[in-house]
């Protein structure tokens, strides 16, 4: 299996007037080509920052360390122009709210023409439209929608159009940051089924960033659980859900409310502030299995069990 | 059964759509969003009644109508038998002391420029302090109000209250903000609380705590809840009875236990099936309803769910626009669109109630009529049997459907369902 993306010791710190916010810290993550990697965590855990860091879409006050290797190149060492050329062509991203990503003053057709000509300025608008029709058919959107404005379309149609825009250049990796959070359950399931069939057709890997453990369980090949800017646990989906190792993963899974829930559970406490330096395990104050070592020594990632799962916990 | 705390009878709430001068001149009547279109339910004292449905089904409009933020177009709302459908200014003030709303986003419900203590105090200044006898008296002093806010903060678990009083919303977590909002609501001693997606904005690891808190408050203050959510799993946990809403109608209503054990309406089934299961060893292929929730300005005829329903019958309300939708879906395939080109383009088709028509101009209408007949027979499903006639009038091809069977709510195994399958 070949890797499409390799993150090594990736850290992102936002410089603020109150000090550095360590949004992502020392993350190692490998995504195999053609696979779905689920990145789960709660608000503020750094999962969106991680997604944007890969595309170098972070604001100016963000400082990045480590490496992001994509197709044999380290994205952090490329110039802004080189990254811009990769973005949308080899690496694409969709976001939570498709309405805010489409220009309300532009017809759908112009979004396609603009995107195509940004990478291939020579393409004639008529040819660009032909390509648009092809990808629209792949995401099951009738081509008459090309003449419409974003506000004339439903939320599901807009997200399909965002996906179609990403498909134009057949990217090797699609980063989907909460792609269905603004949608209802039925639409959510429809969009993810669509993504799944398209990624096979286009031989594309997906980094699915979400807070929804159910979605990850249904669609991801591997799962990375993020807490306080770090990866707490990472491994193949089936064993990870069967036997979660990190106390945070265990707590998170127990707190899911599904149709079979008989007893409510919440992880005690609140996530820590990422401002300033910290020592010890970030989950220490909320952990039900904490030991004295956890307070002062940061748990390095170790490989645990038969599936050689990565777990950052002193229990193992 | 004793008199229900709240009774809603055939409630309709329509919103006018703005149409420009030229559009009005061109006619076509007034366009209205049928947000709530004939909804009836009642809530008993001490009960948790859930309204569950997807965005745009009208559940939030019902919440707003109950507290007078939106005016009912027709129908009745009775609170302890008293008509509160269209209260005057004074009546509205009274209604809001008895029915209170908790919103989804506590951040938006609290002013960022006001300390959370003041946010609660303000309400007590306007409405007075509740007494043990059930009436209200205006506070003698600011100190009395502050003491009352402390009491409320203590009640909702913001302890020590003096520490929280002078905090701004930005300094609190999502869960704490939701507690402030709950406290502000409780300060009025309402009898019915309408909770509109109260946990949707919270993280999973703390969501359960909020639900437990709401249920604890209910027990302590003998409250009744109308719990509005899109999340069937959460509703299952807190609701005694639920109503499933789709496009302005309640399609299934009854005891939560009964509905979850054996959902009857195809829409309820679809919703339940779509919930992702956090267990990768139980992945299964899902049969999802087609397409999306249609526009509520022109809701589908017959049963509103029929165009998407996996169990639809020929009598469910097939109409002209369903033919156009079928052609559109079919011609997503570029190959089929080319082969069936003589019947296109889709924009040339026009729907008018039970009829779909297309003026063929110089093209042979009989060939197109035959093609449409084949397409509907092959891939129209139950729609095919609903066709009354496919004919040619002059140069126009016409597809006409039979009128649907009338849809009435029926009692089925302990719940009420609005579906022709039963």
List the domain boundaries for chain B.
320-401
Mean pLDDT across the stretch B183-207? 89
Q: B6: part of which helix (H) or strand (E)?
A: strand B6-16
- Quick check: B398 pLDDT over 60? yes
Residue A77: predicted pLDDT: 92
- Quick check: B132 pLDDT over 90? no
Task: Give the confidence band of B344 by pLDDT, cuts at 50, 70, 90.
Answer: confident
The whole-chain average pLDDT of chain B stands at 91
Residue A189 and residue B274: Cβ atoms within 8 Å? yes
Below-50 pLDDT ranges, chain A: none
**pTM to 2 decimal places:** 0.91
Give the nearest partner residue to A241 out of B207, B280, B347, using CB atoms.
B280
Chain A: residue whose CA lies nearest to B210: A266
**Would you say how long chain A is, in residues?**
316
Give the nearest partner residue to B346 out of A144, A215, A251, using CB atoms.
A144
Give the nearest partner residue to A264 out of B175, B211, B277, using CB atoms.
B211
Residue A144: predicted pLDDT: 85
Distance from CA of B388 to the nearest CA of A (A): 28
Task: Give the confidence band of B27 by pLDDT, cuts at 50, 70, 90.
Answer: low
- Quick check: B29 pLDDT over 70? no
Give contacts of A 239-298 with B, CB under 8 A.
Answer: 241-242, 251-253, 255-259, 261, 264-267, 270
Residue B276 and residue A217: Cβ atoms within 8 Å? yes
Mean pLDDT across the stretch B406-414? 94
Residue owning tokens 């004919």: B391
Q: Is A54 helix (H, G, I), strand (E, B) or coil?
A: helix
Q: Give φ, ψ of B126 to 5 degrees.
A: -75, -45
> Which of the residue ranges A152-156, B41-45, B52-56, B131-135 would you say has the lowest mean pLDDT?
B131-135
Q: Give φ, ψ of A163 to 5 degrees.
A: -65, -40
Residue B54 and residue A186: Cβ atoms within 8 Å? yes
- Residues in A closer than 8 angstroms to B231, CB to CB, are 257
Question: Which residue of B56, B157, B204 to mutate against A (max A Cβ within 10 Å)?
Answer: B204
Sign of CA dihedral A122, A127, A132, A138: negative
Mean pLDDT across the stretch B15-22? 78
State CA A45 to chain mean position distance: 12
Task: Give the confidence band of B1 by pLDDT, cuts at 50, 70, 90.
Answer: low
- Residues in B closer than 8 angstroms to A161, CB to CB, are none
- Inter-chain Cβ pairs, chain A and chain B, closer than 8 A: 128
Q: Which of B59, B408, B69 is nearest to B200 (CA)?
A: B59
Strand order in the sheet with B415-417: B99-102, B192-196, B224-229, B48-52, B241-246, B249-255, B415-417, B410-412
Please say whether the beta carbons of A216 and A37 come within 8 A: no
> Which of the residue ranges B27-31, B283-287, B415-419 would you say has the lowest mean pLDDT?
B27-31
Residue B24: predicted pLDDT: 67
């Amino acid at each position: 299996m070949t890797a499409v993306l390799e993150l090594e010791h990736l850290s992102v710190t936002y410089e603020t007037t109150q000090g550095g916010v360590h949004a992502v810290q020392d993350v190692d993550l490998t995504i195999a080509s053609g696979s779905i990697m689920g990145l789960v965590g709660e608000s503020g855990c750094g999962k969106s920052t991680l997604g944007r860091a890969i595309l170098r879409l972070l604001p100016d006050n963000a400082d990045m360390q480590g490496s992001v290797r994509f197709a044999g190149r380290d994205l952090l060492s490329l110039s802004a122009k080189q990254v811009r050329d990769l973005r949308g062509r080899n690496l694409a991203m969709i976001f939570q709210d498709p309405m805010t990503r489409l220009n309300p003053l532009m017809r759908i057709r112009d979004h396609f023409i603009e995107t195509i000509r940004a990478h291939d300025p020579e393409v004639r608008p008529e040819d660009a439209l032909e390509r648009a029709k092809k990808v629209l058919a792949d995401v099951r959107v009738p081509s008459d929608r090309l003449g419409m404005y974003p506000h004339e379309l439903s939320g599901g149609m807009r997200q399909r159009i965002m996906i179609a825009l990403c498909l134009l250049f057949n990217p090797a990796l699609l980063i989907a940051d909460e792609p269905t959070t603004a949608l209802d359950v039925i639409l959510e399931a429809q969009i993810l089924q669509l993504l799944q069939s398209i990624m096979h057709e286009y031989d594309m890997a997906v980094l699915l960033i979400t807070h929804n453990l159910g979605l990850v369980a249904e669609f991801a090949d591997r799962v990375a659980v993020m807490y306080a800017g770090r990866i707490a646990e990472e491994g193949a989906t089936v064993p990870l859900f069967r036997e979660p190792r990190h106390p945070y993963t265990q707590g998170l899974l127990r707190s899911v409310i599904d149709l079979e829930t008989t007893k409510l559970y919440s992880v005690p406490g609140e996530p820590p502030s990422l401002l300033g330096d910290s020592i010890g395990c970030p989950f220490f104050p909320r952990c039900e299995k904490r030991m004295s070592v956890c307070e002062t020594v940061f748990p390095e990632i170790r490989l645990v069990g038969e599936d050689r799962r990565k777990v950052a916990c002193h229990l193992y | 059964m004793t008199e229900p705390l709240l009774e809603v009878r055939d409630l309709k709430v329509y919103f006018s759509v703005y149409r420009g001068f030229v559009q009005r001149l061109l006619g076509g009547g007034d366009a209205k969003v049928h947000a709530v279109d004939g909804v009836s339910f009642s809530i008993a004292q001490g009960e948790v009644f859930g309204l569950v449905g997807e965005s745009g089904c009208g559940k939030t409009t019902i919440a707003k109508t109950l507290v007078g933020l939106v005016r009912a177009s027709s129908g009745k709302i009775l609170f302890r038998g008293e008509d509160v459908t269209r209260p005057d200014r004074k009546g509205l003030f009274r209604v809001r002391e008895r029915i209170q709303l908790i919103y989804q986003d506590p951040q938006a419900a609290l002013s960022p420029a006001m300390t959370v203590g003041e946010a609660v105090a303000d309400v007590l200044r306007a409405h007075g302090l509740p007494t043990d006898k059930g009436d209200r008296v205006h506070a003698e002093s600011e100190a009395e109000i502050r003491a009352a806010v402390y009491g409320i903060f203590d009640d909702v678990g913001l302890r020590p209250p003096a520490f929280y009083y002078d905090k701004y919303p930005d300094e609190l977590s999502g869960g704490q903000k939701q507690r402030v909002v709950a406290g502000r609501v409780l300060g009025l001693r309402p009898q019915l609380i309408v909770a509109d997606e109260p946990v949707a904005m919270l993280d999973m690891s703390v969501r359960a705590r909020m639900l437990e808190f709401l249920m604890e408050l209910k027990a302590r203050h003998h409250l009744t809840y109308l719990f509005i959510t899109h999340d069937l799993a959460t509703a299952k946990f807190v609701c005694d009875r639920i109503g499933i809403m789709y496009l302005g109608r309640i399609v299934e209503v009854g005891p939560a236990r009964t509905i979850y054990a054996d959902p009857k309406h195809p829409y309820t089934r679809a919703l339940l099936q779509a919930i992702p299961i956090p267990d990768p060893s139980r992945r299964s292929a899902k049969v999802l309803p087609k397409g999306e929730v249609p526009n509520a300005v022109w809701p589908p005829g017959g049963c509103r769910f029929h165009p998407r329903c996996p169990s639809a019958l020929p009598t469910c309300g097939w109409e002209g626009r369903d033919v156009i939708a079928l052609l559109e879906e079919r011609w997503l395939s570029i190959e089929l669109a080319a082969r069936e080109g003589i019947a296109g383009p889709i924009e040339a088709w026009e729907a008018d109630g039970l009829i779909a028509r297309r003026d063929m101009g110089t093209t042979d209408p009989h060939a197109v009529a035959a093609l449409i007949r084949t397409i509907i027979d092959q891939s129209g499903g139950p729609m095919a049997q609903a066709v009354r006639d496919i004919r040619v009038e002059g140069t126009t091809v016409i597809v006409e459907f039979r009128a649907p069977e009338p849809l009435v709510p029926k009692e089925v195994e302990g719940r009420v369902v609005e579906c022709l399958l039963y």
